[in-house]
Amino acid sequence: MKAAVTSLAALAHENRLAAFRLLVQAGPSGLAAGELARRLEILPNTLSASLTVLSHAGLVGSRREGRSIIYTAHYDAMSALLAFLMEDCCAGSPEICAPLADMLSRSACCADDLVKA
């Protein structure tokens, strides 16, 4: 539960949530910090602070490529958070969560992994 609270706290800010969503969309190749800042239209130092919080929560990672720092989403952490949020769902009534399961199964990315998590 502590990891879920940490992840949710990290995502509970407009810039951090937007950055994380862009990194999820970017896939495993990730995005350079400068490109991420341009797309989000925020200052690099503001982005850096946001990425630090997301990194400490285990939601993103980084690697150096030449002069750039490339950030990527940690899909396993995202899947774990979603699984935690869904583990007690439905109270014995699967139809409650059916719309979410249907949405995930139609998703263009990662649907099988998220449903299994």
pTM: 0.82
Report all structural domains of the chain as residue ranges with CATH numbers, in order of start: 1-76 (1.10.10.10)
Q: Residue 111 burial by CB count (10 A; 0-12/13-18/19+): exposed, middle or buried? A: middle
Amino acid 88: pLDDT: 74
Whether the per-residue pLDDT at 115 is higher than 50: the answer is no
Distance of CA 99 to the CA centre of its chain: 21
Whether the per-residue pLDDT at 111 is higher than 50: the answer is no
Whether the per-residue pLDDT at 26 is higher than 60: the answer is yes
pLDDT single digits (tens) 36-81: 999 999 999 999 999 999 999 999 999 999 999 999 999 999 999 9
